Chain A
Amino acid sequence: MWFNNPDVWEVTLLSLKVSGLATLISLVIGLPLGTWLALDKFRGRSFMMTIVNTGMALPPVVVGLAVAMTLWRSGPLGDLNLIYTPTAIVIAQVIISLPVVTGLTAAALQHQDPRLRLQLLGLGASRAQMVVSLWREARLPLLAALMAGFGAVISEVGASMMVGGNIRHQTRVLTTAIVLETNKGEFASAIALGILLLLITFLINYALTWIQQRGAKQ
C-alpha cells in the first residue's frame, strides 16, 4: 500500500517543507510590502500595485522558465549550483506566492477605514504599533492571504518540475510525482498521491480556517 512506501512519505515531507518555507518567506516579505503599498502614497504606487496584481495570475511554468534560465549552469546565477535542488523550487514558489500574499495584504488593509490609522496615531501609537494594530484588525483577510499563498504553491507543478527536475530522493514533490506516475500509466499510484495532496491541503486549510473563524466569532 502507498502508505507503507517510504518514498511516498519522503515526497510528502519534501512538499510540505518546500511549500511551507516558500509560504513563510512570502509572508515575511509580502506582509510588510503589502502594508507599504496600502498605507503609503508615493510615485509609482499604482504601477507597483498593477505589477503585484498581475503577479497573482503568474503562470507557474513561466516562473519555472525564468528561474531555470537564471539558475542554469550557463545562466547569471549558474555558479551557485542551485538548479535541480529543493532551494530552486523554493525560489520559484516564493515568486509564485509572493504577489498573492502581497496583493491580498494590500487589499485587506486598503479595505479598512482610513480614519482608523489616524485614530491609532492620535492615541500615541508609533508607526510600528499602528501597523501591528491594523494587522490584528485585518487578521481574517490576512489569514485568507496566507491560505491563498500556500494553496498556490502546494498545488503547482510546472515550476517545481522545471527547476527541480523531479529527481528521486532529491527534488521529487507530490505534484511532480503525480505527473510521473500518470506518464508511466500508474494511475492508481497517481490517484493515491492526488488524494494525499488533497488531504494535506485540506488539513492545513482546516487548521487555518479554524483559527480564522475563531477570530470571526470573537
Chain B
Amino acid sequence: MTRLLEINHLRVVRDRRQVLDLQHLAIETNQVIALVGPNGAGKSTLLLVLAGLLKPQEGRITFNGRMVEPHKDRSFRRRIGLVMQDPLLLDRSVQDNVGIGLRFRGVGGQEIRRRVDEWMERLSIAALRERPACKLSGGEAQRVALARALVLRPELVLLDEPFNSLDKKARADLIRDLKSLLPGTGAATLFSTHDEREVELLAEEKIELMEGKVVR
C-alpha cells in the first residue's frame, strides 16, 4: 500500500468555535477507515474539508504526494466520491442520478451508459433503472447515492454516516455489499459512523474524534 492522503495541522473554526484540530492523519490506498465519535466531534467537518466543500483556517493536505487545497481545486474534487447521510437525489430517473457526476466531467454518452449499467448491476439497482428517484425506498435511494459516487472511479471515497437513515435489514444488506465492493474499487474509504458494529464489519482502522481532536 502507498500513501494516498496526508493531513497535517488541520484547523477549522466555525462560528468562532474550533470544530477541528487535527495534528496528523494519513490514509493509504485501498484502506478503509472509520471515523467515530459523538455528534459535534468533527467527523462531518473533516469529510467536508476533504471533499473541498469547507475551507479550513489552516492545515496542509497532501494527496498522492502533491499538496492540494481541496476548496480551490476542482480537479482534486473530481477525484473524490462523496456520499452524505441522506441520498440527496435529483428529481430524475435512477440511471440519470447515477450518471450525473460523469456528465459533470464531460464523459461521453456511451461511456456513461456503460459505467452506469456496471455500477447499477454491482449495487443491485439495475431493475430500478427507469424509476424516478422520488419513488425509491430509503435503502434503494442510498444504493443509488453510492453508485453515483463509485461510478466516478474516485481515489478517495468519503461516506458521511451513510447507513444512518436505513432500517436494520437495508443497513445489513448494504454493509455486506459494500464490504465486497470497496476492495475492488482501488479507492481508499473514509466513513463516519456512530455504530461500532459497522466499524467491525467494514473498517480496517478506526479513528476516534472528540471535540475536533483525534483521541485514539
Contact = CB atoms under 8 A, between A and B. Distances in A.
A120 B90 CA distance: 10
A67 B144 CA distance: 53
Given A115-B84, A133-B90, A122 B51 contact: yes
> Which of B48, B52, B82 gathers most chain A CB within 10 Å?
B82
B115 interface: no
B78 interface: yes
A136 B52 CA distance: 24
Nearest to B134: A218
Interface stretch (B97-105, B121-129, B175-183, B185-193): B97-105
Interface string A119-146: 1111111100100010011000000000
User: What 7 A-B pairs come out closest when comparing CB atoms?
Assistant: A122-B82, A123-B101, A124-B78, A119-B88, A125-B104, A124-B104, A122-B51
17 contacts: A113-B88, A118-B48, A118-B51, A119-B84, A120-B100, A121-B51, A121-B77, A122-B51, A122-B80, A122-B84, A123-B82, A123-B100, A123-B101, A124-B101, A124-B105, A126-B104, A137-B90
Contacts of A218: 91, 132
Interface residues of B, number: 23
A123 B84 contact: no
Contacts of A126: 74, 104
Interface residues of A, number: 17
Interface string B147-180: 0110010000010000000000000000000000
A175 to B, nearest CB: 38
Contacts of B26: none
Given A122-B52, A122-B158, A124-B77, 19 more contacts: A115-B84, A115-B88, A116-B88, A119-B84, A119-B88, A121-B52, A121-B77, A122-B77, A123-B101, A123-B149, A124-B78, A124-B105, A125-B104, A126-B104, A133-B90, A133-B100, A136-B90, A218-B91, A218-B132
B53 interface: yes
Contacts of B48: 118
A122 B79 CA distance: 10
Interface of A: 113, 115-116, 118-126, 129, 133, 136-137, 218
A161 B112 CA distance: 56
Contacts of A125: 101, 104
A124 B75 CA distance: 8
B180 to A, nearest CB: 24
A121 B52 CA distance: 8
A206 to B, nearest CB: 23
B211 interface: no
